[in-house]
Structure 1
Amino acid sequence: MSQHKTIPSPTDASQGSKKMLTAMVGIGVFCALLIVLTYEGTKERIEKLKAEALEQAVFRVLPGISQTKIFELIEDGNFIPSDGKDRSKKLVYAGFDDGGSLVGIAIEASGQGYADVIRILYGYNPSNQTVVGMYVLESKETPGLGDKIEKDENFLSNFNALSVALTEDYKQIKNKVVPVKQGSKTNPWEVDGITGATISSRAIGNIIGESSSTMIPLIYNQLEKFKLD
C-alpha cells in the first residue's frame, strides 16, 4: 500500500516564520522593559550609595575634618555653593573642623588607566600647599596588579604630603606633579610608582598632575569663598 506525505505549503511555512518572529520580538520587548524597570527601580538606591561612598572618601582624603560642604566650579572660573545633585558639574568638597575652620578641599579627577578610566578623589591642604590624601573611587585595573594603586601602602604614602606649591604670584603650580619609577623619587612633587603596576601607578600621578595644575590655583585664589555658613 502506498503512503502519502503531506508537504507544507509555502503559505504554512510563512505563517510559521511570522509566529516565531512575533514571539521573538515579544520576548525581546519584555526583556527590554524588565531591564528598564529594574534600572529605574534601583537608580535612586544606587545614586544614594554612591553619594554615601563619596562622602566617606572625602573624610578619608582630608584628615581632621568633621563637616563638609559642596561647591561648584562655574564657567567663569568662580566657585559657588552647590547641593551636589548634578554630578555632571565640576564639584569640589570643602572640609571643616569642629570650629568651622577650613581644613582642605577634596577634588575629583579622572584619566586613562591600563584597562579603563580611573576616577580618584584627592585632598588638598592650602595651608601647606600639599596633597594630603588620595582615594580611588572607580577602577577596573587588573586584580593583583593594577589594583595595587588602592592597596599598596608605600604607594599611598606618596599622597601624605605631595607638594603642589604655587609660584610666588599664586597663578600656577611651581613644580607639576609627575610619576617616577619606583625607588627613584627625590622631590616632594614626584609620585613613586609601583613595579608590576607601572601603567596604573603612573596614571594616578598624571591624573593628579593635570588636575592640580588647573584646580589648585583656582582654589587657592578663592579660599575666602569656602565657608561653612
Structure 2
Amino acid sequence: MNAHKTIAPGTTGIEGSGKMLKAMVGIGVLCALLIVMTYEGTRGRIETLKAEALEAAIFEVLPGTTRMTIYELGGEGIFTPSDGKDRSKTLVYAGFDEQGALTGIGVEASGQGYADIIRILYGYDPFTQTIIGFYVLESKETPGLGDKIEKDANFLANFDALDVSLSDDFSRMVNPVIPVKSGAKTKPWEVEGITGATISSRTIGNIIGESSARLIPTIYQQQDNFKPHHKPLPK
C-alpha cells in the first residue's frame, strides 16, 4: 500500500506565498529607492545641461547677442528681472550686444505635437516686428519625418523674418501667425509646412501663433524695460 502524507490546510502553501510576497515587496522598495537616488543624484546635472542648452539656443535665435537677462511676466502684466528658476512663470530672454543694445527677445512656447509635447524658442525683433529665429528645445517627433522641423531648410526659412506686425495702438497683431500647407505660403505671416511632417510643422505654426498673439503686444509695449543684467553667453 502507498502511504499518503496529509498536509495540514493553511500551512506550507500559504507560508510559501507569504515569503514570495515579502521578497517581491522588498525588491520593489529597493528598486524605488534606487530610482529616487538616481534621480536626485542626476537632477542637478540635468538642470545645468538644460540651462546651457537654453543659453546656446538664445544665442542662435537672436543674432548678435553676447549677453542676456531673464524676465518673468508678473500678475500685473509687467515683465521684471528673474532668476528663471520658477518654470511655472512665463519667462522671456532679453538679448543684448556688446554695447548693451537690445538684439531681441527670446520666447519659450510649447504645444502638443504628433508624438508628445514640443518645446520651442523663437526670437522676436521689436524693431522690425518680425520673428527672426527658431529653435526646437525638446521634441520626440518621429525620426526622419516629424524631426524635419529641426533641420528642413525651407521650413526654417519661415523664421528669417516672420511678420508679427502690431496695430497702430500696439494692442494686437494685425495678422495672426498661421500654418499653411507646403507650397501654399503667400503672406509673410504664414508658416509653410513640410510634406511628410504635416502635423509637426502645423503644430509649430499654431504654437507660435498662439504665443505671439498673447505675448508680443506686451513685449513691444515694455521693450524699454529690458536691460542687460546677466552674464555673457558662451561663444
Judge same fold: TM > 0.5, yes or no.
yes
Which residue is equivalent to 1:68? 68
Q: Deviations over 1:68-100 (max 9, x none)?
A: 110001111100000111222111000000000
Structure 2 matches for 1:209-220, cutoff 5 A? Answer: 209-220=209-220
Deviations 1:177-203 (A, max 9, x none): 011111111111011110111111011
Match of 1:111 in 2: 111
> What is residue 226 of structure 2 aligned with on the other side?
226
Residue in 2 aligned with 1:171? 171
Give the drift of 1:3: 4.5
Equivalent residue, structure 1, for 2:233: none
Mapping 1:57-206, distance limit 5 Å: 57-206=57-206
User: How much does 1:106 deviate?
Assistant: 0.2
Give secondary structure in 2 for the equivalent of 1:71.
strand
Extract unaligned runs of 5+ from structure 1.
Answer: none
> What secondary structure is seen at the aligned counterpart in 2 of 1:182?
coil
Give the counterpart letter for 1:38 in structure 2: T
Distance in structure 1 (CA, Å) of the matches to 2:160 and 2:166: 18
TM-superposition CA deviations, 1:122-145 (whole Å, max 9, x none): 000001000000001111111111
**For 1:7 and 1:29, how far apart are their aligned partners in 2?**
37
CA 1:7–1:134: 2 relative to 1, 3 Å: farther
Distance 1:7 1:57, change over 3 A: farther
Query: Residue type matched to 1:17 in 2?
Result: S
Which amino acid in the other structure matches residue 86 of structure 1? D
Distance 2:136 2:6 in 1: 67
Hey, what's the Cα distance between the residues in 2 that align with 1:168 and 1:210? Answer: 20
Q: TM-score, normalised by structure 1?
A: 0.97
- Greater mean deviation of Cα atoms: 119-128 or 84-93: 84-93
Residue 3 of structure 2 is matched in structure 1 by 4
**Letter matched to residue 47 of structure 2:** E
Greater relative contact order (Cα < 8 A, sep 6+): 2
Q: Among the aligned pairs, what percent are the same residue?
A: 66
2:102, 2:4 → 1: CA distance?
Answer: 90
Unaligned 5+ runs, structure 2 = 230-235
Q: Distance in 1 between matches of 2:6 and 2:88?
A: 63
Q: How many residues align?
A: 228
Looking at structure 1, the residues matched to 148 and 44 of structure 2 have their Cα atoms a distance apart, in angstroms, of 31
Give the whole-Å Cα distance in 1 for the aligned partners of 2:159 and 2:5. 80
